[in-house]
Each structure stands twice: as structure tokens, then as C-alpha cells.
Chain A
Amino acid sequence: MIAVLMWYMIFSKGMNSSDMKKILLYTEIDYAQDAISLMEVARQLYKDEKTQTYALVINGNKTCLQGVCDVILHLVDDRLHPFDQKGICDVVSELHGSYHFDAILFLATPMGRCIAPAVAMKLETGLVADVTRIAHGSEGLELVRPAYSGKIMAGIRITGDGPVMMSVRGGIFTYTPSQVVESKLITLEGLSYRYGSITVKDKKAKTIPYDIRESDVLISGGAGVDDMKELEVLATLLKGDVSASRSVVDKGMVSRALQVGQSGKTVSPTLYIALGIHGALQHVEGLKDVSYIISVNTNRNAPICSISDIVVEGDALTFVQRLVKRIEKGQQL
């Protein structure tokens, strides 16, 4: 047994010192479809270098990255829950002890954002949260993330021996597989880890009318809108949905599920109508590949205006009422 272990350690060390970069992707059962974006992060991290990607799937659908990822590490244990920071931190650290990953990637989900820092602490390595861009500069790998409510972008380098650790939000990186990979399935057995004390006593699902990430047209309200209901009429006429900026969500006017931005969702509609939205970086970070932007703002110098195709300088709700009338008139003709 010891001989096998020694061989394995030498072998895996050897693998590491060669060109092969090993990357662990932590997947969560509820975010299986977003996990593929971690493949794009892996690709951008090591560009043309040889890589081996490992997806850790705990009690989830082991086919989630099948055909995309090189190795699927599958762990089945009903007692290990996705919210068990202590337990999952042990599992990831234990795996790192065997595989010596060059990078460990997390989705910035509510749980991913808790587990990643704990793992980084345990492995005594640096972690960068909410990475939006990967750059290879003169000082080596640079992970770019927004800070100070998105007013500043920071390029961060991980110093020390690694592994490189980061979390990324879903929808930021898009992966296009170039070929179907024959994924190797490894069922994890005999790992040593503990269980935390947390148990679920009750879970109530919330009804979410629609997913703004799927919407083709978004009518989005910001601080300049004091009645979000009025936006629905325009949204219906344009066959779109209503979304909001953080300030509207923070005021409790709409559900957080409708929030666009760094702390909300990244959206890619064909048409985005920004009503009374200032367009701080943290909001604009949530707009990706939007074909057309129309913004309505009392301040024509608001940041959102410079990235808009049409700027209407004026009150947002007045605009909505007038445009609704105009569209209705057009329909009658």
C-alpha cells in the first residue's frame, strides 16, 4: 500500500513538474449548467499548454461535464451536503494533497463563495473572488476583478506556491468545446473528511417568474424609477421582461432574482432599455454582448449614456408612458 502511495506521489509530482497543468473545477448540483464556464477559465489560464481538467461532482449528475472535462471525480455520500463548508473543504484539500492541482476553480455561487475561501486558507494559498478577466501580463498571470462597488478594477497576482484559486460568476466566461473529450470517471472512495453540524430543517422554494439571463429584451429600472410596475406594460409590448439595478433591489422594490450587475446576474439581451440607471461599473459589468442599449436619464453624462445607442435625456417614467402610447398608436395603424 505504502509502495503504491509512494509511486503515486512520485508520479503525480512528476506530472506536475512536466508541462501538464492540472485544474480542478468544483461543481454544484444546482449550478451544473454554469460549471462549463469554468472550462473557459481553465483554457484562458493555460492557453496552449497541456492541461488536464478534473471536475469534482459531489452527489450530483456525473454526466454534467462528461465529454467536456478530462476526468470526473465523483463522490457519493448522502451525509455530505453542499452547504457543509467544513466537509467540502476537507474533500477538496484532500484531493489537492493527492493530485497537486495547479489551479482550483469555483463558481461564485452563494456556497462556492463560502467554500473557496476556506479551502484557500487550509491550503495557505491566495484566492481571487469574482474574476471577470484573465490576463497574461509582464508580471505573469493577472486576475482582474472589480472592487469598491465596481468603481475600480484591480489586477491581482497570486504570489506564493499556489495553487491558483479563484471564483467566477456564471455568465462571464463562455466555453465553446472544440471536440468531444473521452472523460474518465473516477469514483472517489476512502477519502478522509469530517462532517459539519449544519442540517436543513425546512426549505421553501420561491417562485421566480422568469430568468433574466434568458430574456431577449430587458426593461431595466434604476434609482430614477419609483414605480417598477409601470415598466411591465412596456416590457409586455416589447415581448420582454423587467429587470433592475441594485439600488431598486436594495430598496426591496423587486426580487433580487431580477438584479443585473456584478452582485446580480450577467445578462445578454438583444435590447436593453436602462431607465434611470446611472450605470456604475458594478451594473455595467452585468451587461455582456448586448446588441442595443437605450438609456433614459436626467443626467446625460451618466456612465450608462456613453455605452448607449440612444440616450433620452429626461424622466424615465414620463418616457415609458409616452413610448407605450406611441407603440400602441403604431399597432392601431
Chain B
Amino acid sequence: MNILCVVKFVPDVDNFSYNYETHTIIRENSDMRINPDDACAIGFALKMKKRDPQTCIEVVTMAPSSITPLLEDILRVGVDKATLIADPLFAGSDTYVTSSILSRYLSGAKYDVILTGSHAIDGDTSHVPSQIAQCLDLDHLARIQVIDEERFATSLARVEVEDENSITTYEIAMPSVLSLTREAAYRLPYVRYKNLELDVSDRITQVSNSELGFSPEEVGFLGSRTKVIRTYAKVYETRDTILVGPDDSGIDVVYDFLKRNEFV
């Protein structure tokens, strides 16, 4: 079985550099990591490979080449191969263009299922998994917490999706795009000590636009259907604040406030 995981590397949202002039994240300078939901997708794929060693896992990502060390670590935990879609022409692509680029690569790839995360912690638009499914004419389900391992390699996968009101079990024809959430119990293992320096470079394939063949105006800022025109840190209207401690006088201030406004 060929499992294809489409993943994104994201900046640490607590510590990242942002270029307010070009409205883009400075990926080269930011502390990057695999998006947590996407790590669950790879975690599940590795679990299936454990059940059936014939399973082949390919991780696909669109990112600058500077994330190569992170991809290498994913190969060191048992993923078979990685494809890095990178080209300076692709910089500044919005979700529409990103989905188009990924889909063009995927349309020529070999897969029985495509796994992704549901949300990315940086942009959090959740556009790309749905859009890939649309481009490849596949069915798609998101926010998956459980995939039935027994039935996974058959023509109908069974998955559980939990939302705030219910837990629903769906059946979906394969191949399809299945998007997991970080609430799923599948984890990406750490690299074992003996594999820390393992040379995996021959298992990474870099794909650029010369293979994909977009014209320059179809990709990057030019091809995008949305344009970020302004970015700013939001400033909220501040209030006249009373500062107190949690001592008796402070508690009295809070209590009087509650009493005055008829909460007690």
C-alpha cells in the first residue's frame, strides 16, 4: 500500500519572524516545526507500516529548501521517501496556488490514500486538504480522530470524526483525502539515538517548477487569487483598570464590584 502524507512545516507561533512589508513569514529565520495535525498523519502511516512492512510512505511538502533537516528527521523515523517541492517562483503563493502546485505533483504520484492534517497552526485556513481533494476529484473528510486500522487497506476506509455535538463514524471510498487532527492518538516518534546521524539524503527528491511546468504568472504572488495588503498586531480598546492583589482588600474590591453590578 502506498500512503502519501502531504504536510506543512510551520513557524513556532510563539517565536517567529514576520516581514510586515512583504506580508510573509521569514521561514528561513523562524524556528520551524512540523504542523501538529500533520505529525499525526505521519504517525498513523507509520503505525500502518508496522502492521504491514510492505507499506510505502511518502511525505510531500512545499517549502523552501531550508527545511531539509526537518524532512531528514522524518525519514529517520521510518518514512520511506520525501518529496520537497521548492522553487523561488513559488514564494508568496496563496492557498489556491499552493493547492494547484501540490495537486499537479500528486496527480502524477502513486498513492492508495492521501493523509494530511486538518488545521495548520500558522494560517489556520484549512484550505489545502479540501482543495487537493477537489483537484484530484477525491472525497475528503477532515477532523478525523480515529482510523479503523483493520479496514484501512480495503476499498472502504472507516473513520471517526468528533465535533462538539457528536461522534460520527463514516465510511469513505479509497483513494481519498483523510485529514487528521492532533487530538488523534497517533504520534510521530522521536529519532532514535543510533539514527541521529543516519544519512537519508538519497531518499529526498527535490521537485522544482522545471518538472511541474507552471508559467511564472500562474504561481507565487502573481498567480494568487488573494493578496495580503495589510498586516498588523491588533490593538484592543483598553479599559480603565483597577489593579489589586489576591489579599483581603483585593478580594473586597472584587466582591464590591460584583455586588454593585448585582452579580451577588
Contact = CB atoms under 8 A, between A and B. Distances in A.
A169 B246 CA distance: 36
Interface residues of B, number: 82
B254 A310 contact: yes
A83 B171 CA distance: 12
Interface in A169-205: 196-205
Contacts of B242: 309-311
A148 B13 contact: yes
Given A152-B231, A322-B251, A117 B244 contact: no
Contacts, number: 256
Contacts of A314: 245-246, 250
Nearest to A271: B263
B202 interface: no
Contact size class for A? 35 or more
B233 A151 contact: yes
Contact of B16 (A148, A203, A310, A311): A148
B127 A238 contact: no
Interface string A308-319: 111111110011
A327 B251 CA distance: 10
Interface stretch (A33-41, A59-67, A68-76, A139-147): A139-147
Contacts of A157: 226-227, 229
B194 interface: no
A85 interface: yes
Nearest to B225: A126
B250 A312 contact: yes
Contacts of A148: 11, 13, 16, 18, 25, 122-123
Contacts of A198: 139, 141, 170-173
Nearest to B222: A159
A203 B161 CA distance: 10
Nearest to B128: A117
B258 A238 contact: yes
B158 interface: yes
Contacts of A238: 258, 263-264
Nearest to A197: B173
A306 B241 contact: yes
Given A270-B261, A327-B264, 8 more contacts: A117-B131, A118-B134, A127-B95, A148-B13, A148-B16, A148-B25, A155-B232, A238-B258
Interface of B: 11, 13-14, 16, 18, 23, 25, 94-96, 99, 119, 121-128, 130-131, 133-135, 137, 139-143, 158, 161-173, 176, 182, 224-234, 236-246, 248, 250-255, 257-259, 261, 263-264
22 contacts: A85-B134, A89-B134, A114-B126, A114-B140, A118-B130, A129-B126, A147-B123, A149-B13, A197-B139, A203-B167, A204-B166, A281-B234, A306-B236, A309-B240, A310-B241, A312-B244, A322-B248, A323-B251, A323-B255, A326-B255, A327-B255, A331-B264
The 7 closest A-B pairs by CB, nearest first: A126-B225, A197-B173, A314-B246, A155-B230, A126-B226, A117-B127, A117-B130
